[in-house]
Amino acid sequence: MAFYDNIQEGRPADGEESADGLVFRYNREERIKNAPKIVQDYYAGKLNPTKGLFKALVATKFNRFMLFTVALCFAVVLIVNAFGNRPSLATAAGFEFELSSFCYDDNIYAQVKVHPLKKSLADKNFPIDKFIKDQEKVSVVFSFYDADGQVLDKIQKSEEIEKKAFFIRTNSPDYDIIKVTANVELLGQRIDLTSKVTRRE
C-alpha cells in the first residue's frame, strides 16, 4: 500500500472533524476583521477601480506625478536630439553653415548652406555690406569617404558672400561613399562639418 492511500479526498464540512481530529472553520468576517481597511473595503465591494487608461494614470497624486515625470523626460530627449550637438551645423564669423549630402542616380550630391545670422544682421557693427562690396568669398573643400575611411574624392569650391542664404554645391560619382566632410574657410576662420550620406531611392 502506498503512502497516503487512506486519505480521503476533499475536506470536512464546516464544523466537522477530520480523521486527524482537526476542526475546519471558515468565517470571512472573522478572517478579515484585523485586515487593513483597503482589504476590508475590497471584500465589501466598496472599491471601484478606475476604468480607462488615462483615468488610471491621473487617478492619484502619485500617478499624476509619475505621468508628468515621464512626459518631461520624453520632452528632454526630443529636445536634445533636435538641438544637440550636430556635426553638420556650425557658426563662424557671424554666419551659419550647414552641410547636407545625399545619393541619387549613382552620384553623391553635397551642399553647404551659408547665411548670416539674424543677430549678426541686427548688429550695426557687422560689415555685411563691406563683405559683399569687397567680394569676400567662402571657400569649401569637400571630401568624400568610403566605409574604410579612405578619401575617394576631394573637391574645392568657393562663392562670394551674399546678404541672404546661398549654397555651395558639388557632386561626385558614388563609389560606396558613406560620409562627406566640408572644410570651410571664411574671413580667416576655419570650421569642419560632417554629414552622413542619405540614400534616396
Helices and strands of the chain, counted as H and E runs: 6, 9
pLDDT tens for 34-58 read 888 888 777 777 766 666 777 777 8
**In 3D, which of 182, 170, 183, 188 has the Cα closest to residue 131?**
188
**In 3D, which of 130, 112, 127 has the Cα closest to residue 182?**
112
Instruction: Quote the mean pLDDT of the chain.
Output: 81
pLDDT > 80? residue 8: no
At residue 126, the pLDDT reads 85
The phi, psi pair for 182, rounded to 5°, reads -135, 120
At residue 146, the pLDDT reads 87
- Cell numbers 500500500 correspond to 1
At residue 4, the pLDDT reads 45
In this prediction, residue 59 has a pLDDT band, given cuts at 50, 70 and 90, of confident
Beta bridge partners of 167: 113
**Exposure string (b/e) for 152-190, b if CB count within 10 Å is 16 or more?**
bbeeebeeebeeeeeebebbbebeebbbbbbebbbeeee
C-alpha triplet 111, 113, 114: angle, nearest 5°: 140
pLDDT tens for 136-148 read 889 999 999 988 8
pLDDT tens for 107-131 read 889 999 998 888 888 888 888 888 8
The CATH code of domain 89-199 reads: 2.60.40.1200
pLDDT tens for 65-81 read 898 999 999 998 888 77
In this prediction, residue 156 has a pLDDT band, given cuts at 50, 70 and 90, of very high
Question: Rounded mean pLDDT of 132-157?
Answer: 89
**In 3D, which of 105, 185, 78, 90 has the Cα closest to residue 141?**
185
CB 102 within 8 A of CB 199: yes
pLDDT tens for 17-26 read 555 666 656 6
CB 165 within 8 A of CB 114: yes
Which residues make up the CATH 2.60.40.1200 domain(s) of the chain?
89-199
At residue 49, the pLDDT reads 64
In this prediction, residue 84 has a pLDDT band, given cuts at 50, 70 and 90, of low
pTM, 2 dp: 0.58
